[in-house]
Structure 1
């Protein structure tokens, strides 16, 4: 679950505005008595969307520094369900490594879409331990979107290979999780002795782990 900010009610909402004004007119703090409780409730609901059973595990990312820099943010955090809090992205990476079978060090997202002059493809490379990323994109003549995604996939892996070997390391020390469409996963898994199949097998031998994950665009 990702929250881009602390979910305070909108002050401009007529209902919220009237209730806040009534509290202020009585000499009380509408922020402390009205806004904060509603915000904390919304935060708890965010946790509830993720954790529904005792066995559930996950990450709630709250992208708002007020959660630690403001006293009301720290209080709201203390009112949340028990959880381990961290501001270190590496902890998120370690959580996913421990809770899944993936030992990937990098994530490679590939995309393709049909345009007038061909298929636009893009790869996005993420270093999972800290979230740092890079990307590249082009438009080319491909028969369909899976072929364009495969082209992006191979281009992204070549780029990552050059970075790793340029730093004096071996690609066999690293794992990569490739996120692409289900159609692309099927194309790579069903390919027999084709150029694409040979290129994919060759890449697979270069890495400690190279896995495919089907992710459909929203």
Structure 2
């Protein structure tokens, strides 16, 4: 589904991503973890070209996305993205937020789009809130709407960039539960998160990053029981402590 080959990125003189190599298979859940500033969010944002790379190759379903001829809007329409801060349109109702992309991008009729929006809001447990405005929802509810919106384009993969880090602790569980359901349904997911219990329970693979490098690419069980890199072992020890 997704393949990184020797990917590098700089911010002026700062080397943000260093020779990233990795693959994500269809139906896999990959959790990307590591200390703050390790390059996790930068890496995930390169997949839909919210961040450009300096060298290397990223392929999505076999297509080289850093080819200059790639239609960037078409690329992004096929990749779901859930942001840290929701990014809902504040002037649109919950239902309109979810239906907007199918209508404007996919060319669906309003009737089709709103029917799908109803189904997706039911899926994330927010059908009763469909006519509310985002400002009237809790942070956890807004993030669940954002997940429904990401699903509305029926993408083959969804990227989550620290989807719970802006939430109050009591709201984290409701968002993670929706993500667990998506994983159980076979959705291909890449999740940048600090939620290690979620990673242990749901992830097929763990990517551990530090200082722009991908230091561990292993199964969830192997990462939590026998991480090979010293920096990863220290990270886990600090979390446990």
Fold agreement, TM-score > 0.5: no
TM-score (norm 1): 0.28
- What TM-score comes out, normalization by structure 2 length? 0.26
Larger strand share, 1 or 2: 2
Please state which structure has a larger fraction of its residues in helix: 1
- Largest Rg, 1 or 2: 1
With a CA cutoff of 8 Å and minimum separation of 6, indicate the structure with the bigger relative contact order. 2
